Structure 1
Amino acid sequence: MVTNQPLFLLIQIILLAIALALLIPIATLLIECMAAFFLPRRDKQEKPAPRPKVTILIPAHNEASDITATLKTILPQLTDSDRLIVIADNCTDNTAEVVRQVGATAIERENPDLRGKGYALDYGLRCIETKPPDVLVFVDADCQVSPGSIDKIARLAAASERPVQATYLMTQPDNPGVNDLISTLSLRVKNLVRPVGLTRLGLPCLLMGSGMALPWSLMSKISLAGCKTVDDMQLAVDLAIAGHPPLFCQDAHVQGRLMKDKAAKSQKARWEHGHLEMLFTEVPRLLKEFISQRRWDLFALALELAVPPLSLLLLIWAAATGGAFVAAVLGVSWIPGMVLGLEGLLILISVIGSWAKFCRADIPGRTLLAVPFYILWKVSLYPAFLIKPQSRWLKTERDTVDVTES
């Protein structure tokens, strides 16, 4: 046994390092959730301001079957000075014709070599730059915008001169299975609970891709011409570093729709591969700018971005905890296992608390028991990131359902 001491010491150091590294995202998750549970709202009473002139840009790729429902939730919210423009990007269907029939403006873009949401939006911006609005609003083509939401985020963006993110959630598919329910819970933690917590701590949030409002004055500070899967996160980082960290508007609501089966896995691969790419590239950049500019909001945004997708965080924690337990049985110190056990408790508090506070009405509590099986269902997403990460914006094939209700 004595001859194994150097090896055991090395294993202990490695396991403890993993445990301490995991403590950063887990503690961040817990603090954000606790703030959402217990801290009061920090809404500022702004003086009434004139309604800014708004242009809404919607990038669309072969969305003829779904976009009418989206437009019908937006058109009643517009004033006479507002514009609603759909960029029909590399479409092979009649998206542009459907848009015009509903009463919105459609502009068509054809460039198969430069495909991506960023390129589509950049094209839209160049088409309106000679007659710019006060505030730009970005909405995805498959989203429903709740009444009054355009007004709320536009006014807040104009008053604060900062980008604003509406609450962006997903409706469940018809006849949702257990995986669909857990996906809904995970997304609600990411897109509602954590931004609410950050807002109540007085900190910025990340942008989410749809339901975003930006003052036109900020457009000179960014570039949208790109084909990353997470242009929204990149945009949030770029604007935050430039001195305009995003705000979260809990009272404005935009809803997309979760996919089923293969489409669901493709959708999640896009989101999670993009998140991991941003984690590795932009967290170091934010930390560098935090040191350079001495701005704690950038440090907070780096921590927020450093929290990996919840299922991946649980998967890493479970693997580390299992390794620590086996090592302890073989004679290595129990300290790493104890630290990891505490971290598991913190994750449990965050997830169960989020469910109880924000999800109990439409997600049965027994669904939580299936989380381990959901994680196994998603395991294949993460090796794929190392081999062939998804890096292009492509339309996810959808089931045919009625999405006309807002």
Structure 2
Amino acid sequence: MIEAAAWVLLIVSAWPALVLAIELLAAQLPARPIPTGGSPSIAIIIPAHDEAASISHAVDAARSAAPAHTRLLVVADNCSDDSAARARAAGAETIERHDPVQRGKGYALGFARRHLADDPPDVVIVLDADCAIADDGIAHLAAAAQALGRPVQSAYLMRPRPERGALVGLSGFAFLLRNLVRQRGLARLAAPALLTGSGMAFPWRAFAAAPLDSGDLVEDLAIGIALARVGLAPAFLGDVMTLSDPARRSATLTQRARWEQGFLRTARRAAPPLICAGRWPLFWLGLHLTVPPLALLMLVDLGALLLLGATSVPFAILAALLGLLGLLLLLSWARFGRRQLPASQLLLIPFYMIWKLPLYAAALLRPEKRWVRTDRD
């Protein structure tokens, strides 16, 4: 019975690590080309909840990066400040929504969709108020969405900010692994991309079909899964970068807590039917969702190693798999993450895992069920 339990523990702990290793390996291959072409009409939606300090800059940045005649729509959602007035002063079309019960970005996007429905654009781009799409990425994203007829997600990354400290830098590297490296892996494996909330483009047909009106903690993830199920699987366009500045250390932990709790909850609900759907893209998307956040995965697998005992065959198999995973993570850092994280800070990964222990304890004891805005500077 002890030997059988050891093999069961090996399978449970090795499965997510193996899925992650395959994605990291696939990410090293050249990216699949995405067709682009044409000049679709574009509407950029910027949801704003108490963003008075940054909304003018967000509007100016979006306007300067967007093609001429792009429609710029700010949704001032349940604001207690003058975000709406500042957005109008910056020249953006602005609508206001007040509903203290239905709170969250999904409801703001649904409100914007109803506003645009009388004169819909060819493509809708969603951009958070603290983000900017680099270079000519807006036109590139819109053209790709129009050509594919499906949503397209850019690489949404955090700018390196060394002054924020090493733990925020490590969080930014984890963000890069999820939003760039693993997205590349999903694309090479012909699986749907994940929608990550900002820098995502929808042809109007997909935007009209999306289940937007929701207070889900990870509404972007849920929207992408729902669209993939109806044949509108998001694609990944890693050549386009959507950039944001990281929050302070305490706010970063709060932000990660909200996202990781929402991810685990959505994954638990969505992964089994996707795996059983009988189609490869959905099957792999379901497998992808079985991989917990990286720090949690490493904590679980290291705990499994301690339980297995150093002399057992399952221990040797899991140790070899974790060694391979470590090498692939190092390779991914060398290829994609050098600017995000100095080599010396890789030694702090164990402290990063300890830093996140309270997050996982809170997920068990006080699970977050409400959308919470991340504090900005």
Shorter-chain TM-score: which interval?
over 0.9
Q: Distance in 1 between matches of 2:100 and 2:283?
A: 39
Q: Distance in 1 between matches of 2:339 and 2:77?
A: 39
Quote the residue 1:298 is aligned against: 282
> How much does 1:164 deviate?
0.3
Specify the SS of the correspondent of 2:163.
coil
After superposing the two structures, state which structure 1 stretch, 387-396 or 224-233, moved more.
387-396
Pairing partner for 1:55 from 36, 43, 52: 43
Quote the residue 2:222 is aligned against: 234
Task: Output one character per residue of 1:184-207: Cα deviation in whole Å (capped at 9) or x when no partner.
Answer: 211111111111122233332111
Q: Distance in 2 between matches of 1:310 and 1:206?
A: 16
Task: Output one character per residue of 1:284-321: Cα deviation in whole Å (capped at 9) or x when no partner.
Answer: 12123x23xxx211011111222110000001011111
Q: Distance in 2 between matches of 1:174 and 1:342?
A: 33
Pairing partner for 1:369 from 347, 355, 372: 347
Q: Distance in 2 between matches of 1:18 and 1:279?
A: 20
Task: Output one character per residue of 1:109-150: Cα deviation in whole Å (capped at 9) or x when no partner.
Answer: 111111111111111111111111111111111112212111
Question: Aligned in 2, Cα 1:174/1:65: closer, same or farther, shift over 3 Å?
Answer: farther
The answer on whether the counterparts of 2:67 and 2:139 sit within 8 Å (CA) in structure 1 is no
Q: Does 1:101 align with 2:89?
A: yes
Q: Distance in 2 between matches of 1:252 and 1:362?
A: 17
The answer on whether the counterparts of 1:204 and 1:246 sit within 8 Å (CA) in structure 2 is yes
Q: Does 1:323 align with 2:299?
A: no
The answer on whether the counterparts of 1:171 and 1:255 sit within 8 Å (CA) in structure 2 is yes
Question: Aligned in 2, Cα 1:77/1:360: closer, same or farther, shift over 3 Å?
Answer: closer
Pairing partner for 2:291 from 307, 310, 324: 307
The answer on whether the counterparts of 2:17 and 2:321 sit within 8 Å (CA) in structure 1 is yes
Pairing partner for 2:159 from 161, 164, 171: 171
Q: Does 1:338 align with 2:354?
A: no
The answer on whether the counterparts of 1:164 and 1:246 sit within 8 Å (CA) in structure 2 is yes
The answer on whether the counterparts of 2:97 and 2:108 sit within 8 Å (CA) in structure 1 is yes
Q: Distance in 2 between matches of 1:385 and 1:254?
A: 29
Pairing partner for 2:338 from 360, 368, 393: 360
Pairing partner for 1:24 from 2, 10, 15: 15
Q: Distance in 2 between matches of 1:50 and 1:363?
A: 38
Quote the residue 1:261 is aligned against: 249
> How much does 1:349 deviate?
1.5
> How much does 1:324 deviate?
1.6
Quote the residue 2:145 is aligned against: 157
Pairing partner for 2:32 from 42, 52, 74: 42
Quote the residue 1:202 is aligned against: 190
Quote the residue 2:202 is aligned against: 214
Q: Distance in 2 between matches of 1:176 and 1:261?
A: 7
The answer on whether the counterparts of 2:65 and 2:133 sit within 8 Å (CA) in structure 1 is no
Q: Distance in 2 between matches of 1:239 and 1:265?
A: 30
Pairing partner for 1:381 from 350, 359, 362: 359
> How much does 1:13 deviate?
2.4
Quote the residue 1:4 is aligned against: none
Question: Aligned in 2, Cα 1:253/1:321: closer, same or farther, shift over 3 Å?
Answer: same
- After TM superposition, where is structure 1 displaced by more than 4 Å over at least 4 residues in a row? none
Quote the residue 1:112 is aligned against: 100
The answer on whether the counterparts of 1:173 and 1:259 sit within 8 Å (CA) in structure 2 is no
Pairing partner for 2:132 from 144, 147, 152: 144
TM-score by length of 1: 0.89
> How much does 1:382 deviate?
1.3
> How much does 1:91 deviate?
0.5
Pairing partner for 2:275 from 287, 291, 310: 287
Which structure: larger Rg?
1
RMSD: 1.6
Quote the residue 2:113 is aligned against: 125
Unaligned runs of 5+ in 1: 1-8, 400-406
Task: Output one character per residue of 1:209-248: Cα deviation in whole Å (capped at 9) or x when no partner.
Answer: 1011111112343221110111111011101000111100
Q: Distance in 2 between matches of 1:362 and 1:234?
A: 28
Task: Output one character per residue of 1:259-285: Cα deviation in whole Å (capped at 9) or x when no partner.
Answer: 223211111101110111111011012
Q: Distance in 2 between matches of 1:387 and 1:346?
A: 34
Unaligned runs of 5+ in 2: none
Q: Distance in 1 between matches of 2:303 and 2:14?
A: 15
1:392 counterpart letter in structure 2: R
The answer on whether the counterparts of 1:69 and 1:144 sit within 8 Å (CA) in structure 2 is no
The answer on whether the counterparts of 1:29 and 1:350 sit within 8 Å (CA) in structure 2 is no
Sequence identity (%): 38
What number of residue pairs does the alignment pair up?
A: 377
Q: Distance in 2 between matches of 1:261 and 1:364?
A: 18
Quote the residue 1:404 is aligned against: none
> How much does 1:80 deviate?
4.4
1:301 counterpart letter in structure 2: L
The answer on whether the counterparts of 2:161 and 2:169 sit within 8 Å (CA) in structure 1 is no
Pairing partner for 1:351 from 326, 329, 351: 329
Question: Aligned in 2, Cα 1:152/1:118: closer, same or farther, shift over 3 Å?
Answer: same
Specify the SS of the correspondent of 1:156.
helix
The answer on whether the counterparts of 1:70 and 1:145 sit within 8 Å (CA) in structure 2 is no
